[in-house]
A and B are shown apart, each in its own frame.
Chain A
């Protein structure tokens, strides 16, 4: 059974940093692109980052480019999102998702609140 379990969320002050993790199991992690998708409270879905199978290629929307860094450790079947210079508009539930021309599996999400 495919499982994606996020962790690392919480309350953080504007301008500070936070690192999210996603532990994957039930599939060959190194064979798949992986992604982070977020959802602000009562809002829609927003793609945040994608990483290739080896980690050599990463993709971001302009809203987080230069502040967020996606990475992976295939030996540990783990995905990460380093978030720097956090803003109030980054407040959201962050989902880890398996990517292959769609998001066929999602984690349960982890809440990040950016507030002073």
Chain B
């Protein structure tokens, strides 16, 4: 199984500052079609998760351009520029390269 490892944030993050969340996979998520099968989700308190980024760097519909995804085949970063109160929650990375699909353990973002 592909293991997804997420880093922690130095919480709380001051409002207006940027925050970067890291995720590492135990196997390259780069497919032969050139796409990297890495997704990012945000789960706000008391809510269902929502898709933020797919294919490592493509923003989902309606997602603010303050969110950006980058990385290589095994090391990934979700950057949130100018964090706001609505960004509070737990962020998860997920690999969609192969079954069993696996998530990272989550990274909590708190705002100061």
Contact = CB atoms under 8 A, between A and B. Distances in A.
A73 interface: no
Interface in B88-112: 90, 92, 94, 96, 99-106
Interface in A38-70: 44-47, 50, 59-62
Given A44-B105, A102-B39, A50 B48 contact: no
Contacts of A109: 48
Contacts, number: 53
What is the interface of chain B mostly: helix, strand, loop, or mixed? loop
Interface string A97-109: 0000111101111
Interface string A78-116: 000000000000000001000001111011110000000
Given A59-B99, A104-B51, A107-B48, 4 more contacts: A44-B90, A101-B54, A104-B60, A106-B48
Interface of A: 37, 44-47, 50, 59-62, 95, 101-104, 106-109
